[in-house]
Amino acid sequence: MPALLRSLVRRSSRRGAFLYPGAEIRDLPGAQGRHPARVRVSVEGQAKAAVEVGRNRLAITAGVFALAFCVIAGRLVDLMALNGGEAEAMAAAMAASDGPVVGAVVARSDIVDRNGVILATNLPTVNLYADTRAILDPEEAARRLVQLFPDMEYGETRDKLASGGHFVYLRRHLTPEQQEAVNLLGQPGLEFEPTERRVYPQGPLAAHVLGATSTDNHGIAGIESSFDRYLLEKAEPLQLSLDVRVQHAVRDVLLKAVDRFHAIAGAALVADVRTGEILALVSLPDYQPEAFSGAPADSRRNRATLGVYEMGSTFKLVNTALGLEVGGYHVTDGFDASHPLRMAGFTIHDDHAQARWLSIEEILVHSSNIGSAKMALAIGGDAQKAFLDRLGLLSPISLELPEVGKPLYPDPWRPINTVTISYGHGVAVTPVHMVNAVMPLVNGGWYRPATLLRQDPEAPPPGHQVVSARTSDTMRSLMRRVVTDGTGRKADVAGYLVGGKTGTAEKNEHGRYRHKALLPSFVAAFPMDDPRYVVLAMLDEPKGIPETHGFAAAGWNAAPTAGAMIARIAPILGVRPRGPETPVAPEVRFATASGDAGRAVH
């Protein structure tokens, strides 16, 4: 062996060249028969074979990875687009389930006010349901859930979890914290369903306009119900005519008035006389829209659109317009109000008796029942009924709400009905009806139905003329006189030229009037030199207080309430205060006892 090593070292040092592995043994003993060229060819062939094997292995590996990616991509398409038939399987399972199952929850469009402020929108949330086949111990699972949600009843929850259903709702609209708490239970079979919850950022502010939705996000009241299909199908928000700023101010004033006068309820409206748009609609008490189903029935009742009431002396505006427009009277024409009027076993008195002849102007300013009745009788019941119908007072309002009331009126329309209707008893209408009727009396005579949808200011609804511009101008002057010199003094607001009319009706229940149960209201317009808005305030059964000397009539409560509303909303609406008033036109004169100031009508 040492001799071999010496030979190898000697040969290596002598050649000094690189030797391929194995080449160093070609001259060793026993190797004389090997051919050097053959050895070289064998080594090179082996190297090429090794390279080829490596390439083949890489190709095979790449092919395997490509196939795996194709399988994964196909599965993703199946799950995301085709759903692998699992949707149908789940639907079938839900249909076969013993638990409460509802339709799929879908998104709804937002509802916004006229300025884009959100009134109703959606929040993403989850519903908790159970695949009860995976619940190993229903009693233990129920116990742990009831610990998380104390309002859940243990027995009912246990029965649901033991029902064997594939899809059983347990709780809807979990908060993120509640979802996390359920996850931490680590309970197999408890799953979450993505959904949306309808929320109302303004709270109860516009509850009776917006209404509410059901647990599956379908409208069940208010605008949510009327426009259910629109809100489900359209992407853009539904824009209402309401102005959140005005709505807030009106609701705040009405809340304070209900509290101050110890009323059981109240209602208020603000409308644009040029377009019919309702800027504020309030009914008290109200409710949280998210808790609609649990709200008392009295709170859910929309007194502004559904409740029908005898509106009392506010109807004298309609009666006066009837005399001017249909009867052809002038404001200085007069009627004898010296003595009470007896008819059909009834005696008609004046609450603010003047005991003399009164001009038409004085009849309205002093709110004379006797003068109003005699004027209506002189014109006739048929003409009176037709005029009320012309102003929309005998038909249901065409408002975009399901909660609308139908007027009540006598049939047949007898002379005694003509008398009582002249001063607001015998016909029952909604507050919206009253606003609808007053708008044309101050806007030049044009009737445009009230609406809760925002209108194009450049293209207002066409409307139709129901009284002449001359009658409208006269009514504006008379309404202003009621506030400056009549029963509406407490509604006046410096600089805003408020005009209007008080009305105090006794509530009729079961065919009998309750003398102590009053329904005072005040309907106003401003500014009377160029009217833009009509405001109505109504209180239900207010009580007399020391500040009103115990009186509960409209002049003491509804009138100042309407005035407070106007003082709050006029600056918001951009109505600038006026300067000193223009004196009343000389031809508007008071009648004397002898009637020589104008035509005396007996």
Give the pLDDT confidence score for residue 81 in this predicted structure: 53
Spatial CB neighbours of 294, under 8 Å, sequence gap ≥ 6: none
Segment 546-599, tens digit of pLDDT = 999 999 999 999 999 999 999 999 999 999 998 776 554 434 443 333 333 344
Q: What is the mean pLDDT of residues 104-121?
A: 89
State what percent of residues in the chain have pLDDT above 70. 82
Assess contact for 519 and 312: CB atoms under 8 A.
yes
Give the pLDDT confidence score for residue 59 in this predicted structure: 76
Tell whether 85 is covered by a domain.
no
Give the pLDDT confidence score for residue 70 in this predicted structure: 73
Assess contact for 400 and 452: CB atoms under 8 A.
yes
Tell whether 47 is covered by a domain.
no
302 in the same domain as 210: no
> CATH number for the domain including 128?
3.90.1310.10
More confident residue, 40 or 291: 291
Give the pLDDT confidence score for residue 253 in this predicted structure: 98
Assess contact for 101 and 95: CB atoms under 8 A.
yes
Q: What is the mean pLDDT of residues 98-104?
A: 44
275 in the same domain as 145: no
Segment 134-183, tens digit of pLDDT = 999 999 999 999 999 999 999 999 999 999 898 999 998 899 999 999 99
Q: What is the mean pLDDT of residues 85-107?
A: 48
Tell whether 369 is covered by a domain.
yes
Nearest to 527 by CA among 465, 467, 569: 569
Segment 410-459, tens digit of pLDDT = 999 999 999 999 999 999 999 999 999 999 999 999 999 999 999 998 88
Residue 558: left if φ>0, alpha if ψ -120 to 50, beta else—which one? alpha
From residue 60, alpha-carbon distances to 54, 65, 420, 566 in Å are 10, 9, 101, 85
Tell whether 37 is covered by a domain.
no
426 in the same domain as 371: yes
What confidence category does residue 75 fall into, taking pLDDT thresholds of 50, 70 and 90? low
Strand partners, 506: 518
Tell whether 22 is covered by a domain.
no
263 in the same domain as 206: no
pLDDT at 27 over 90: no
Tell whether 331 is covered by a domain.
yes
What residue has token string 């008893």?
Answer: 425
Give the pLDDT confidence score for residue 586 in this predicted structure: 37
Per-residue exposure over 315-329, b if at least 16 CB sit within 10 Å of its own CB, e if not: bbbbbbbbbbbbbeb
From residue 166, alpha-carbon distances to 127, 130, 173, 179 in Å are 15, 7, 20, 20
From residue 407, alpha-carbon distances to 401, 427, 428, 505, 528 in Å are 16, 7, 6, 16, 29
Burial of 550 (0-12, 13-18, 19+ CB in 10 A): exposed
From residue 463, alpha-carbon distances to 275, 440, 445, 525, 531 in Å are 9, 10, 10, 19, 17
More confident residue, 57 or 193: 193
340 in the same domain as 408: yes
Q: What distance in Å separates the CA atoms of residue 252 and residue 431, rounded to the nearest whole number? A: 19
419 in the same domain as 376: yes
Q: What is the mean pLDDT of residues 9-28?
A: 48
Record the tokens describing residue 403, joined without a space: 């909660």
Assess contact for 274 and 443: CB atoms under 8 A.
yes
Give the pLDDT confidence score for residue 96 in this predicted structure: 44
Nearest to 502 by CA among 377, 365, 599: 365
Record the tokens describing residue 490, joined without a space: 């407490």
pLDDT at 16 over 60: no
Q: What distance in Å separates the CA atoms of residue 323 and residue 42, rounded to the nearest whole number? A: 128
Segment 394-415, tens digit of pLDDT = 999 999 999 999 999 999 999 9
Spatial CB neighbours of 597, under 8 Å, sequence gap ≥ 6: 332, 334, 359, 589, 590, 591
From residue 307, alpha-carbon distances to 197, 238, 357, 393, 557 in Å are 31, 26, 37, 14, 20
Q: How many domains does the chain have?
A: 2
The pair phi, psi for residue 371, each rounded to 5°, is -65, -40
Q: Which of 239, 262, 284 is the last residue of a domain?
A: 239
Record the tokens describing residue 205, joined without a space: 């502010």
Q: What distance in Å separates the CA atoms of residue 50 and residue 35, rounded to the nearest whole number? A: 23
Point out the least confidently predicted range of 31-40, 221-230, 241-250, 572-581: 31-40
The DSSP-derived string for 80-131 is: IIIGGGHHHHHHHHHHH-SS---PPP-----EE-TT--EEEEEEEEEEEEE-
207 in the same domain as 157: yes
Tell whether 565 is covered by a domain.
yes
Q: Which of 239, 259, 278 is the last residue of a domain?
A: 239
Give the pLDDT confidence score for residue 169 in this predicted structure: 93
Mean residue pLDDT across the chain: 86
Q: Which of 239, 261, 288 is the last residue of a domain?
A: 239
Per DSSP, 412 falls in state S
Per DSSP, 27 falls in state T
Q: What is the mean pLDDT of residues 266-271?
A: 98
Q: What is the mean pLDDT of residues 332-350?
A: 91
From residue 333, alpha-carbon distances to 359, 365, 551, 585 in Å are 5, 14, 32, 16
Q: Is the dihedral of CA 349, 351, 356, 360 positive or negative?
A: negative
Assess contact for 167 and 99: CB atoms under 8 A.
yes
> CATH number for the domain including 315?
3.40.710.10
Q: What distance in Å separates the CA atoms of residue 220 and residue 197, rounded to the nearest whole number? A: 15
Point out the least confidently predicted range of 32-41, 383-392, 455-464, 475-484: 32-41
Q: What distance in Å separates the CA atoms of residue 411 and residue 540, rounded to the nearest whole number? A: 27
Q: What distance in Å separates the CA atoms of residue 349 and residue 331, rounded to the nearest whole number? A: 22
How, if at all, do strands 168-174 and 111-112 pair? unpaired
282 in the same domain as 234: no
Tell whether 272 is covered by a domain.
yes
Give the domain range for residue 152.
111-239
CA angle 441, 248, 531 (to 5 degrees): 20
562 in the same domain as 450: yes
Residues labelled as active-site residues: 313
377 in the same domain as 295: yes
274 in the same domain as 189: no
pTM of the model: 0.77
470 in the same domain as 593: yes
